[in-house]
């Protein structure tokens, strides 16, 4: 391993500017680019990690802030809102889109919004950030909701508007690669347009998640080794948000399925009717399955509730193996378990839920 900044010099050569000031040239038959991503920011807002923080800066705070304004209510924003409100901070969550977690199923987003609001988080959706002014004592955030402009004050601001692939200063032009704003284009085996150069992880865009990056790297390395790896299907990639309550999803949302013209059957089962959830005292949330009405094919599975990220693999595997909601519903699930909600949601899609 060599610590330093790497830059492509050609299809098989990399220059490393080492941290000790030295420089060396590495050569190999293949090069794998896996430079990851960095936090995005709002136009005109500078992240200084003193008063205006990214997610790493928020975790390095010396004490729990009295108040925190979070810019962006996607996965990172809702996770940090859950974290800091649990520690006693007054949290304001600001989102430009009409709902928090705007990429997830609307029913799921509504539950998380309700639970965060119940725990004291002030949620401002449909609200654009117009500027952030930092001082020694805190931050003043200019926002606009329709025609109304106002200022929100907090001790710190956390910018959580997503991440951007790290593609600058890599020497991509030296090998003839033209990255897009969303990352380095690759084929199903993670190979770029230059046969000896591969890329995997956040740098290629798509779902910027650790487990997805790991799977992409595995595909790339197996292909480099001459194996025949199976490509990754974006519809089979699990999405997990560690908010309180958790969110776990895979595949199409109900809206996406309908917009594609699919005839859908929707099964939904609440944890209020699940024995294990009652035992744990965590009865908020549900499991929702979106299926093809005719074939019973699972198009998407969406969960919100306590530890639902542990339930998602059943849905991912079922979708990967093209199991139908009938087959999921007929599988015997142990009692009392949270996973019984998956079975019941599958049966609900058929109009046959036992306890719903």
Catalytic residues: 335
332 Cβ contact list (under 8 Å, min separation 6): none
Pairing of strands 31-33, 4-10: unpaired
Taking CA atoms, 291 is separated from 250, 251, 253, 302, 313, in Å, by 12, 10, 10, 12, 17
* Buried/exposed code over 191-227 (b: 16+ C-beta within 10 A; e: otherwise): bbebeebbbbbbbbbbebbeebbebbbebbbebbeee
Dmax (CA) of the chain: 69
The burial class, CB within 10 Å (0-12 / 13-18 / 19+), for 121 is buried
Element (H, E) at 259: helix 254-259
Element (H, E) at 112: helix 106-118
Q: How far, in Å, CA of 123 to CA of 114, rounded?
A: 10
What tokens appear for 310 in the block?
């542990």
């Amino acid at each position: 391993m060599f610590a330093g900044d790497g830059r492509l010099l050609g299809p098989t050569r990399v220059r490393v500017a080492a941290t000790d000031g030295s420089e060396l040239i590495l050569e190999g038959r293949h090069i794998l680019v896996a430079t990851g991503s960095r936090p995005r920011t709002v136009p005109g807002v500078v992240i200084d990690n003193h008063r205006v923080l990214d997610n790493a800066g928020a975790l390095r705070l010396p004490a729990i802030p009295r108040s925190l304004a979070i810019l962006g209510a996607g996965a990172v924003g809702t996770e940090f809102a859950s974290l800091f409100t649990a520690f006693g901070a007054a949290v304001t969550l600001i989102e430009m889109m009409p709902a928090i977690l705007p990429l997830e199923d609307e029913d799921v987003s509504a539950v998380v919004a309700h639970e965060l609001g119940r725990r004291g988080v002030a949620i401002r959706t449909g609200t654009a950030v117009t500027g952030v002014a930092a001082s020694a004592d805190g931050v003043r955030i200019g926002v606009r909701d329709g025609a109304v402009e106002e200022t929100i004050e907090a001790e710190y601001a956390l910018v959580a508007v997503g991440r951007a692939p790290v593609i600058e200063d890599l020497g991509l032009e030296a090998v003839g690669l033209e990255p897009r704003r969303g990352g380095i284009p690759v084929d199903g085996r993670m190979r770029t347009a230059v046969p000896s150069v591969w890329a995997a992880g956040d740098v290629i865009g798509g779902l910027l998640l650790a487990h997805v990056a790991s799977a992409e790297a595995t595909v790339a390395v197996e292909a480099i080794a001459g194996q025949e790896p199976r490509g990754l299907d974006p519809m089979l990639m699990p999405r997990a948000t560690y908010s309180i309550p958790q969110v776990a999803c895979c595949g199409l949302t109900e809206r996406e399925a309908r917009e594609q013209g699919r005839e859908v059957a929707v099964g939904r089962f609440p944890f209020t009717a699940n024995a294990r959830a009652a035992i744990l005292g965590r009865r908020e949330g549900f499991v929702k399955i979106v299926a093809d009405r005719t074939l019973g094919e699972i198009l998407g599975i969406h969960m919100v509730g306590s530890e639902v990220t542990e339930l998602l693999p059943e849905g991912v595997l079922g979708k990967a193996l093209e199991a139908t909601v009938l087959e999921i519903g007929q599988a015997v699930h142990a009692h009392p378990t949270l996973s019984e909600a998956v079975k019941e949601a599958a049966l609900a899609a058929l109009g046959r839920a036992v306890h719903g």
